[in-house]
């Protein structure tokens, strides 16, 4: 099912569909935060993850290469390059012979447009520890959070790697919960679940040592939405970690490729169409 067809379905599901598409598509094709003052990933980090899509009911494998201030996400025949220094997302479709370039500002506007009333409010969350587990042959700890208010029910279950630690900005980039995504109460819940109990020393601008928070890499994240008596679930699971770099053939725009409208811009246009009253 195409994004356009999905978004033009029943009115009750119109904006809900767009929000779900954002949760599934954008965070791993457009993970982005403001250009970092420090390098997000001083060492290469290669993450292989599997992402379930409740729209197509398919599971997609994503190879994610994190190095410096870039995250390169590679799926079958497609590459997405989030460049935090330039503040833009480049998507290359090798099968269709097309590419798109989207400024972070456009993605931020899309999230602002699609935000629900619950996102704009100050939702409270009930958090419960679910103990230890193993994900991708690595020890992890699991927490489950459920929104404790009168809005649509949402449950977040997250398992974090207790060995690999990253900066807060790096974790926000990997998870797609920093700029240009709209920050809601669930972001603080997720970051709280990932925060390390230990703090490392770092030098500030004047050379004085100060303690900096570190965060554990999320290995599994399950999000369930209850909307109108129906439940929709997304599942994001890391299946392997490494330090490989992406091959050069997935990074270059092929000769003759056509510049097209990005997914984010297309979704934004469909949202605006949903808001317009029908012409008589």
CATH-assigned architecture of domain 3-275: Clam (2.50)
Domain ranges of the chain: 3-275
Q: Could you tell me the maximum CA-CA distance found in the chain, to the nearest angstrom?
A: 67
In this prediction, the residues of the chain whose per-residue pLDDT falls under 50 are 1-36, 117-118, 206, 208-211
pTM of the model: 0.76
Contact 143, 130 (CB under 8 A): yes
Q: ω before 79 within 30° of 0 (cis)?
A: no
Residue 2, pLDDT score: 35
Query: What is the structure's pLDDT at 252?
Result: 95
pLDDT of residue 274: 66
**Cα–Cα distance between 124 and 142 in angstroms, integer?**
19
Query: Which helix (H) or strand (E) segment is 188 a member of?
Result: helix 185-194
Tokens of 177: 């919960």
Q: What is the pLDDT of residue 35?
A: 40
Q: pLDDT value at position 8? A: 37
pLDDT of residue 5: 34
Nearest to 157 by CA among 220, 203, 105: 220
- The beta-strand segments (E) located in 84-153 are 88-93, 98-103, 125-135, 138-147
Whole-number pLDDT of residue 73:
96
Would you state the pLDDT for residue 122? 60
Confidence (pLDDT) at 171:
94
In angstroms, rounded to a whole number, what is the distance separating the alpha carbons of residues 178 and 66? 16
Per-residue confidence (pLDDT) for residue 255, from 0 to 100: 95
Look up residue 99 and give its two tokens.
């590419």
1: helix, strand or coil: coil
Question: 103 and 74 in contact (C-beta within 8 Å)?
Answer: no
- Give which of 110, 138, 113 is closest to 238, Cα–Cα: 138
């Amino acid at each position: 099912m195409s994004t356009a067809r999905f978004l033009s379905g029943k009115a009750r599901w119109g904006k809900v569909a767009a929000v779900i598409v954002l949760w599934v598509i954008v965070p791993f094709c457009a993970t982005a935060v403001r250009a970092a003052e420090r390098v997000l990933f001083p060492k290469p980090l290669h993450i292989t993850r599997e992402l379930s899509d409740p729209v197509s009911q398919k599971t997609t494998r994503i190879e994610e290469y994190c190095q410096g201030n870039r995250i390169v996400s590679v799926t079958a025949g497609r590459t997405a390059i989030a460049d935090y220094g330039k503040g833009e997302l480049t998507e290359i479709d090798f099968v269709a012979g097309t590419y798109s370039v989207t400024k972070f500002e456009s993605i931020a506007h899309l999230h602002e447009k699609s935000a629900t009333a619950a996102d704009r409010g100050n939702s409270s969350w009930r958090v419960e520890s679910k103990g230890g587990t193993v994900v991708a042959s690595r020890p992890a700890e699991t927490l489950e959070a459920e929104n404790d208010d009168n809005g649509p029910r949402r449950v977040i279950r997250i398992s974090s790697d207790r060995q690999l630690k990253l900066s807060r900005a790096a974790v926000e980039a990997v998870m797609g919960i920093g700029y240009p995504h709209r920050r809601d109460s669930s972001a603080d819940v997720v970051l709280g679940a990932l925060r390390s109990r230990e703090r490392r020393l770092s030098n500030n601008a004047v050379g004085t040592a100060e303690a900096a928070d570190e965060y554990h890499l999320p290995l599994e994240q399950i999000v369930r939405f209850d909307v109108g008596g129906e439940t929709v679930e997304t599942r994001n699971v890391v299946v392997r970690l490494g330090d490989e770099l992406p091959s050069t053939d997935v990074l270059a725009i092929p000769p003759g490729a056509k510049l097209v409208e990005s997914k984010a811009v297309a979704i934004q246009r469909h949202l605006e169409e949903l808001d317009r009253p029908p012409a008589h």
